[in-house]
Amino acid sequence: MDSELETETIIEGNGEEIEERMQKLNGEDVVKRYAKGKLLGKGGFAKCYELKCLSNKKIYAGKIISKSNITKQSAKNKLKSEIKIHRSMSHQNIVKFEHYFEDAENVYILLELCKSKTLNELIKKRKIISELEVKYYLFQILSAVKYMHANKVIHRDLKLGNLFLSSTLQIKIGDFGLATRIEYEGERKHTVCGTPNYIAPEILEGKNNGHSYQVDYWAIGVIIYTLLIGRPPFETDDVKETYKKITDINYSFPNNVFISENAKDFIKNILKKNPNDRLTPDQMLQHDFMKVTKLPKEMPHYTLSNPPKIDFFRKYQSDEQENKIINPNQLSFENDKENLKIMKNFALQTLKKCDINIGYVDLKETIKNYNENKKKLNLSSNKENHKLLKTINIENLNINNLSYVDVLYDYSEKFGILYKLKYLIGCVFNDKSILFKILDKNYVYYVNKKKGINKPKLFENKNIITEIKQKYEILCNFEKYIKLENEKNKTNIKIENELIYVKKIIKSDLAILLKLSNKMIQLTFKDNTKIIIDNDNTKKVYFFDKNNKKSVYSIHLVNKSNNKRFLNRYEHYKKIFFEKMDERFQRIQQQKELEKENLTEGSEISPLDLNKTL
């Protein structure tokens, strides 16, 4: 979370403004206004929004607590304690407390904004992460915990959801709602608090003995296990059973997930029932798990959704790992039993629950509305430059022949992303494999580069191989859903000769980017807008706004547009492009070091080749 972001950052809200009223020493009243943006999260008593200061353009994470929820004195005291403790913290790995204010209805706490969300979102996308990444994040967590404990503060709610990530993937510990301060040497706290999967056994076993700093050590052990294994060590469907497993220290390491002996020993020496037997932060840093390899100074941004490249691991391998380095967390999707179970359960459903897709909108009405209304395109009119395309009718633009994804459902937290593109439906799965089919046809196409299938391979329905059986069931149920929707909307599907499908998907906070097999790029945004870029053929950029008004621009003259919303979204596309350029540059540099030879000239990419980079 970065306290100051680019002014181009998209803040989607309802236009609501919040006023902070202050009084100078001379008695003069000052009013500071904030634009309330998108919801970042919510807890028991508070909701967190993006707040943009209209005077200095800084963007904060604004924690808003309704006074109607804190009428009891105990709740007021808890909030005062949170503010007092958090504002006293000043460390590079702790979310920065900016300031707070209140009005008649709410209390507002302004905090540093972390752009890359939390480790909880990361693990949902990645399922598990590598030991090298765990060490990178753990080093920063320990740095912050040592600082807190040196200042006699126990956090008491360390968990993945409270470990925020800055834009540069630096850990920022946040949420001091359960934090407490030790007032004297040897003091024990007796409040029963925490999050079920992370709570220490001494908290559960009664108030008599109390607890101290060691509850944070315990939580660190749970965090490390969860990042490496993909689920908390004591997690069950029943909270009471979870608590029993915690008090019995009843957990194990699954056989189907790689984890080194050093990592196992590290976790075992933290998850000890006796608090005094647990590794301290200093001891954790001296353990072989942390010492056997050097740590990265920074983590590539693409690791938010994908494992680090093999070359990245090689840079940090120890001598005994020479020529043996692999990425143990790039597991085969087909061999991941947990994912297969999720897919199978999903395939048994009717898929009507697609309506609850995670934030992304169904755009299937786009063509329909245009056929009905025959509206003219809303083009940027710049008289000074005759090269801009003039306003033209939809028939002239032939928008109905434009290939784009009009239905998109994000199930990436389970298995992948489903889509419909004209007469074709498909899914890009989390393991990067692709399955698609033409509606009502008795065959499917499969692409999986990891399995050596680089081009679409056709399988008849009766000859589906085991490897894609579960994926095929998902696609069949999605087809039933799409056909049902087509019947409702009386949509006729016209099959064309050209087979166009989604080859690649890149997710960001604001949009899903799709690269099509015909080299076109599409961005579908959360607010029902989308951009389609055709670098290869027409050299045009198409923009569909949230009201389904269409604009088209020459790709050479995009910046001449007066449509701020379009330019904002096109900037987001360029941001993704430059991130991919950076990743590509790093790969080239790594390859250069590995091969110890010069690269050939001519590797520079022109602006017209953005989609090739993506």
Residue 538 has pLDDT above 50, yes or no: yes
Mean pLDDT of the residues in the chain: 79
Residue 122, pLDDT score: 94
Residue 514, pLDDT score: 92
Of 94-108, 182-196, 220-234, 335-349, the least confident: 335-349
pTM of the model: 0.55
> Are residues 93 and 139 located together in one domain of the fold?
no
**Cα-based angle 280, 320, 222 (whole degrees, multiple of 5):** 30
What's the pLDDT tens digit per position in 290-320? 987 788 999 999 999 888 887 788 788 654 4
**Cα-based angle 85, 90, 96 (whole degrees, multiple of 5):** 85
Residue 45, pLDDT score: 81
State which H helix or E strand residue 392 sits in.
Answer: none
d(CA 245, CA 243) in angstroms, rounded, equals: 5
Residue 565 has pLDDT above 80, yes or no: yes
d(CA 80, CA 422) in angstroms, rounded, equals: 56
Residue 548, pLDDT score: 75
> Are residues 235 and 293 located together in one domain of the fold?
yes
> Are residues 353 and 476 located together in one domain of the fold?
yes
Question: Average of pLDDT values for 381-389?
Answer: 34
- Within 8 A by CB and 6+ apart from 257, the residues are 128, 228, 229, 230, 331
> Are residues 470 and 568 located together in one domain of the fold?
yes
d(CA 461, CA 469) in angstroms, rounded, equals: 10
In a domain, 60, yes or no: yes
d(CA 493, CA 189) in angstroms, rounded, equals: 67
Active site residues: 157
Cα–Cα distances in angstroms (integers) from residue 134 to residues 101, 361, 370, 490, 535, in the given order: 37, 34, 50, 52, 40
> Are residues 175 and 106 located together in one domain of the fold?
no
Q: How far is CA 348 from its chain centroid?
A: 27
Residue 92, pLDDT score: 96
Q: Give the residue from 92, 111, 130 where a domain finishes.
A: 111
Pick 590 or 46 by higher pLDDT. 46
Residue 223, pLDDT score: 98
For position 204, which CATH number holds? Answer: 1.10.510.10
Question: Average of pLDDT values for 423-449?
Answer: 91
Among residues 196, 91, 202, the alpha carbon closest in space to that of 153 is found at: 91
Residue 328 has pLDDT above 50, yes or no: no
Among residues 297, 318, 79, the alpha carbon closest in space to that of 168 is found at: 297
> Are residues 456 and 560 located together in one domain of the fold?
yes
> Are residues 284 and 388 located together in one domain of the fold?
no
Provide the 3-class DSSP secondary structure of residue 128. Answer: coil
d(CA 159, CA 194) in angstroms, rounded, equals: 10
Q: How confident is the model at residue 393 (pLDDT cuts 50, 70, 90)?
A: very low
Residue 34 has pLDDT above 90, yes or no: yes
Please say whether the beta carbons of 47 and 141 come within 8 A. no
Residue position matching structure tokens 């350029």: 581
Question: Average of pLDDT values for 385-401?
Answer: 40
Among residues 425, 391, 393, 428, the alpha carbon closest in space to that of 407 is found at: 425
Residue 43 has pLDDT above 50, yes or no: yes
Please say whether the beta carbons of 51 and 34 come within 8 A. yes
Record the tokens describing residue 125, joined without a space.
């996308």
Over the Cα atoms of the chain, what is R_g?
A: 27
Handedness of CA 386, 387, 391, 396 (dihedral sign): positive
d(CA 452, CA 448) in angstroms, rounded, equals: 6
> Are residues 103 and 183 located together in one domain of the fold?
no
Cα–Cα distances in angstroms (integers) from residue 465 to residues 342, 445, 460, in the given order: 19, 12, 10
In a domain, 252, yes or no: yes
> Are residues 65 and 148 located together in one domain of the fold?
no
d(CA 289, CA 142) in angstroms, rounded, equals: 14
In a domain, 495, yes or no: yes
Residue position matching structure tokens 């239905």: 407
What's the pLDDT tens digit per position in 581-602? 656 666 665 565 555 444 444 4
> Are residues 291 and 367 located together in one domain of the fold?
no
d(CA 311, CA 314) in angstroms, rounded, equals: 5
> Are residues 281 and 365 located together in one domain of the fold?
no
Residue 581, pLDDT score: 66
Greatest extent of the chain over all pairs of C-alpha atoms, in Å: 84
Residue position matching structure tokens 């940027």: 380
For position 87, which CATH number holds? Answer: 3.30.200.20
Question: Average of pLDDT values for 374-387?
Answer: 35
- Which residue range(s) make up the domain with 248? 119-300
Of 56-65, 168-177, 230-239, 598-607, the least confident: 598-607
Provide the 3-class DSSP secondary structure of residue 381. Answer: coil
Cα–Cα distances in angstroms (integers) from residue 521 to residues 158, 405, 470, in the given order: 40, 10, 29
For position 349, which CATH number holds? Answer: 3.30.1120.30
Residue 320, pLDDT score: 43
Cα–Cα distances in angstroms (integers) from residue 553 to residues 383, 401, 406, in the given order: 14, 17, 20
In a domain, 11, yes or no: no
> Are residues 418 and 556 located together in one domain of the fold?
yes
Residue 270, pLDDT score: 98
In a domain, 587, yes or no: no
Produce one character per residue of 563-594: b if its CB has 16 or more CB atoms within 10 Å, e if not.
bebbbebbebbeebbebbeebeeeeeebeeee
Task: Find residue 468's DSSP bridge partners.
Answer: none
Question: Average of pLDDT values for 230-243?
Answer: 92
In a domain, 47, yes or no: yes
What's the pLDDT tens digit per position in 239-274? 999 999 999 999 999 987 888 999 999 999 999 999
Instruction: Pick the most confident of 334-348, 465-479, 488-502.
Output: 465-479
Work out how many domains the chain is built from and give that number: 3
Instruction: Pick the most confident of 132-136, 405-409, 597-601.
Output: 132-136
- 407-411 and 59-66 strand pairing: unpaired
Residue 399, pLDDT score: 58
Q: How confident is the model at residue 569 (pLDDT cuts 50, 70, 90)?
A: confident
Residue 304, pLDDT score: 92
Please say whether the beta carbons of 188 and 111 come within 8 A. no
In a domain, 376, yes or no: yes
Question: Average of pLDDT values for 173-200?
Answer: 94
Instruction: Pick the most confident of 52-56, 465-469, 598-602.
Output: 52-56
| Other Cβ atoms closer than 10 A to 280 | 17
In a domain, 605, yes or no: no
Please say whether the beta carbons of 329 and 307 come within 8 A. yes
d(CA 204, CA 212) in angstroms, rounded, equals: 13
CB neighbour class for 320 (10 Å; exposed up to 12, middle 13-18, buried from 19): exposed
**Cα-based angle 544, 482, 480 (whole degrees, multiple of 5):** 165
